[in-house]
Structure 1
C-alpha cells in the first residue's frame, strides 16, 4: 500500500527531533564540574539530585525515539514496540525529575512545558506507528 507523503515528512521530523534529544543527552553527560559550577544554583541542585536510573531512562527515551524514527522511515512494524519503550523511558525520566528530584521547583515552569512537549511527541509517535500498522504503511 502507498504511504502518504506526509508520513515520510513526519518520520523525518521525528528523526531530527530525536537526534536532537541524543545530542542533548550526550551534551548533558559531558558537563564538567566547571560547567556545572556555572549553572544557576537551582540547576546545580537538580543535577545533584538526579538518579542513575532516571538518566538511564533518558537514554532509553532518546535512543529509542531515534531508532523508532528510523523504523518509520524504513516502514517497519518494529517501530511501534521501540516507540513504546521510548515512551516508557520518557515517563520514568519524568517521574525521576518531577516526583523524586523536585524538578518542578528546581527547574521551573519552562522545564515542565518542555517535558510536556516531549511526552506529547512520544505519545504521538506511538499513535502514528499504530496507525501506520493499521493502514498497512508499516510491514
Structure 2
C-alpha cells in the first residue's frame, strides 16, 4: 500500500524534532559545574533535585523518539512500541520534574508549556504509528 506524502513529511519532521531532543539531552549532560554555577538559583536547585532515574527516562524518551521516527521513515511496525516506550519515558521524566522536583515553581511556566508540547507530540506519534499499522502503511 502506498504511504501518503503527508505521512512521510510528518515522519521527517518527527525525526528532526527528536534529533533536537537528543542534542538537548547531550548538551544537558555536558554542563560543567562552572556552567551550572552560572544558572539562576532556581535552575541550580532543579538540577540538584533531579534523580538519576529521571535522567534515564529522558534518555529513553529522546532516543526512543528518534528511533521510532526512523521506524516511521522505514515503514516498520516496530515504530509503535518504540514510540510507546518513548512516551513512557516522557511521562516518567515529567513526574520527576514536576511532581518530585517541583519543576513548576523552579523552572517556570515556559518549561511547563514546553513539556506539554513534548507530551502532546509524544502522544501524537504513538497515535500516528498505530494509525500507520491499521492502514497498512507500516509493515
* 5+ residue gaps, structure 1: none
2:72 maps to 72
How many residues in Structure 1 have an aligned counterpart in Structure 2?
139
Shift of residue 77 of structure 1?
0.1
CA-based RMSD of the aligned residues comes to 0.2
SS at match of 1:77: coil
SS at match of 2:65: helix
1:85 maps to 85
CA distance in 1 between partners of 2:130 and 2:102 (Å): 34
SS at match of 1:2: coil
1:115 maps to 2:109: no
Shift of residue 33 of structure 1?
0.3
Q: Which runs of 4+ in 1 moved over 6 A?
A: none
Shift of residue 25 of structure 1?
0.2
Task: Give the structure-1-normalised TM-score.
Answer: 1.00
CA deviations over 1:4-28 (Å, ceiling 9, x no partner): 0000000000000000000000000
1:39 maps to 39
CA distance in 1 between partners of 2:2 and 2:33 (Å): 52
2:14 maps to 14
Task: Give the structure-2-normalised TM-score.
Answer: 1.00
1:132 maps to 2:127: no
